[in-house]
A and B are shown apart, each in its own frame.
Chain A
Amino acid sequence: MKTNYTPRPSTGGAPREGGGGGGRDGGRDSGRGEDRDDDRGGGRRFGRRRVCRFCADIAIPIDYKDTNTLKYFTSERGKIIPRRISGNCQKHQKSVSRAIKQARNVALLPYVSSKI
């Protein structure tokens, strides 16, 4: 999906600016293009829409005992990664978050992890 078109050479110093979070509401994006990494693909507004991995491969079970898979959908803090980032579809995000919560019940996953 990467377009090699870069309007301006990326400013090497600040690759991950955008900390204000304002970048995701679309409209203002064009003005901020220069702050982005060019792997974002020039003036593209959003990161690539990821495909739900559970839809892509129906063989992957969502099970609260399968902590390796579930860990992938939690942050280092132990928080559940939102759907807009993980790219899960609604259906699978629901079962993932349910499974994570179940796993927390039996101490397979942390409610909160302070080790960072």
Chain B
Amino acid sequence: MSTHVREYETVYILKPDVEGIAAKVAEKVTKAIDREKGTLLGIEEWGKKKLSYDILKNNRGVIVQIGYCGGGNLVNEVERELRLDDQVMRHFTLKLSDSVDAEKRKAEYATTKRARREAPEEDERDDGGGRDGYRGFRDDRDDMGMGDEDEG
């Protein structure tokens, strides 16, 4: 029987200054996934990162990304675990696919994950307008400001 299940990805942010918390939460989540007969694809710790805004008065957080396959209840269960844990400041789940083969996906997860990590760092043409290392568009009311890259 081929097991076609949904694939999910959850990112959660832990408080930055608690030792060994990442392992504990990861274990909880792993157990939850086992309980609901899901397939854990991988846990990836991004490490302590600076957050774009303060969460619970922390401007840093340990970000962990997990991938797993399973049914709908699985997500409830995983999110419940995360919600109950005080050390988890934020969690976010995304459905990546509606129907994948769990076994196959598990085999290829390691490689795709690497590919995602090495997502092409884009080779921006520097628009010349970038001040202070800012290389995007300008936040002007005047949308005519884009002309400066026409030059050869």
Contact = CB atoms under 8 A, between A and B. Distances in A.
A108 interface: yes
A91 interface: no
Interface residues of A, number: 49
Interface in A29-43: 36-37, 39-41
A102 interface: yes
The binding surface of chain A is classed by DSSP as loop
A77 interface: yes
Contacts of A18: 142, 144
B122 A40 contact: no
A66 B65 CA distance: 13
Contact of B136 (A1, A39, A47, A74): A74
A5 B121 CA distance: 37
Contacts of A75: 136-139
B147 A65 contact: no
Contacts of B121: 68
A48 B150 contact: yes
